[in-house]
Structure 1
Amino acid sequence: MPFYLKYAFTYKISDDSGFSAIVNADKYASFVKRDWHFSDLKLHFTEAMNNETLIIWGTGTEGDWAVKFVEQPSPQHAFREFNKVIRVTMGGLYLTNYEDLTMAAQFEDRKIPAMHRSDLFVPMSNGRYTLTVRQMFDPGGHRAAHAGQVNFEVVVQKAPEATEQKVESIFWCEQ
């Protein structure tokens, strides 16, 4: 089996709004408008997911998360999970959060990744991938990430070219 990830990575990212995301910064059109509303963002994010440039999900609670990118799922039970196809065009993807996405949505000169998150780069071979995002905890009973605990596991698998997957909203978003 080919190795799609160049390295296995665990990243730390803050989440002050209850959303995390993975983005193809090369192809993602970040700007929406200066005075956007959440409904504008939901539509924009859904279109980006259907264009295979973004994957965004609700975390269920705020916190500081450890996100691990792997080629095979761990044997640990996941609280919930979903699959989504994304395209890699410039040698990798970025992990980001809602705060950075909203700044880029409001200001044309702001891009993803935000400068202070440019180290959250996941090097990967170019191509289409199915990412399985696995939430490894129940957000109803979880207030903070425990040291050494993986909060989200992202399983990376090559997607067949014929795969087409349309979504209608942000994953696990109750708003």
Structure 2
Amino acid sequence: MHIDFTSIDSTVSYIKSFGVYGPLAAFFLFYLQAIAPIIPYVIIAGAAGMIFGNLIGFFLAWGGAISGAFSLYWITKKIGGNRITDRIEKRYNFDLNSLDDKKIFWVLLICRIFPVVPTPIINIGSGLGGVKTKIFLSSSAIGKIPWAIIYVALGDYFMKSKNLSNTLTIIGIIFLISFLGINYFRKLLPNFRR
């Protein structure tokens, strides 16, 4: 069976094919997407909103994404976290562990809200860079909320209204705001190093 995850209809059909296990299948898709984003998050989240509605769809999108992000972070931290930070300190005389937790939190939060850096790179970089677990989890948990709400709500809205032009207009506005935010924070991020 070929599943086209670039099509929301195909994704909806695939998740529905699991019957009562549909929520588990959706959660797993979000989990996989956080580790290796070969499936577009917007498609899965929209499908979750269409199938499960706002509340359940949100928790599946948010919980699956956080679980996948944390798994990748934890694995990379266990495999090479200390070795990488020790090498950087020896080679460049720079201690990653001395970075200000507050600045790390804000940088990660901004990267989550405005996807300046791909999610797996944030997860792996945080694990290898020795970011504290509480900083990683809190910034990720808060930063994943807006997109989970927006995409799930759009899926739910479209399912209820069947108004494609309004849905596409809303998506266009969201992408414009996101584009402006990404450009703004790309310019701002270098200032965090000071």
Higher-strand-fraction structure: 1
TM-score, structure 1 normalization: 0.27
Higher-helix-fraction structure: 2
**Higher Rg of the two aligned structures:** 2
| Higher relative contact order (Cα pairs below 8 Å, separated by 6+ residues) | 1
